[in-house]
Structures are given as C-alpha cells and as structure tokens.
Amino acid sequence: MSTLPNCPECDSEYTYENGHLYVCPECAHEWSPDAVTGEADQERVVRDCNGNVLNSGDTVTVIKDLKVKGTSSVVKVGTKVRNIRIVDGDHDIDCKIDGIGPMSLKSEFVKKA
C-alpha cells in the first residue's frame, strides 16, 4: 500500500485520493499531488478580457455595465479604475472606484488601459 502525504492544512494522516486530487476528510482541504512536490509554486497569472497580463498597480477600463450588489448603483462601461490590486479568489481584482468606493472585480470584465 502506498503512503499518502499528510494534509498541509491540518496535518491529518487520513488523506485519500479522489481522482487526481488528495482530500483531507477532517478539514475538507483538497490539493494536487504537484503541490506536494513543489511543482505548483508558480505565481498565479491574471489576464484581462483580451488576454493581457494584469499586475498590481495597473489601470484598467470596465467593458460592461456592472451592477453593484446590495445597491442600485451601476459601474458604467468605460469607467477607468486606477491602481488595482491582484488578489486570490473568484473576484481577482481589488480596487477603489470614484463615486462608489472599494470593490472587487472579475478580470474578465476589464481591459488593460
């Protein structure tokens, strides 16, 4: 029987394989075998709607009217957003928009200015 690595989150020894991922039944953490060997230590690349690489500090333009959740406000097409920050998660851009305030945006709805 092959030995599986302990969970990197909670160090549980009860990990199991589910398809091509390792799963911890105690904390529900999932990771790929590449992460164990260190092959997945590459930095995440975030791209805009045209495929251009976005970096923190860039200026982007909104390409679609975006409703602001919980309000009746809308971020209009063509709104320029300066000094973005790239973060992990579903909404991978943190920024401040004039007249609206701090927001998180998805990179698929912006283009690099």
Query: What does 13-65 look like in DSSP terms, one character per residue?
Result: S--EEETTEEE-TTT--EE-HHHHHTTT-SPP-EE-TTSPEE-TT--EEE-S-
The pTM of this model reads 0.62
Average pLDDT over residues 58-83: 95
Q: What is the four-CA torsion angle of 68, 74, 76, 77, rounded to 10 degrees?
A: 50
> Using one digit for the tens of pLDDT, what is the confidence trace for 2-21?
588 888 888 888 899 888 88
> Using one digit for the tens of pLDDT, what is the confidence trace for 47-59?
999 999 999 999 9
- Contact between 29 and 10 under an 8 Å Cβ cutoff? The reply is yes
Res 1: pLDDT: 46
Please, which residues have CB within 8 angstroms of residue 62's CB and are 6 or more apart in sequence? 75, 76, 77, 78, 79, 81, 105, 109, 110
Average pLDDT over residues 28-46: 70
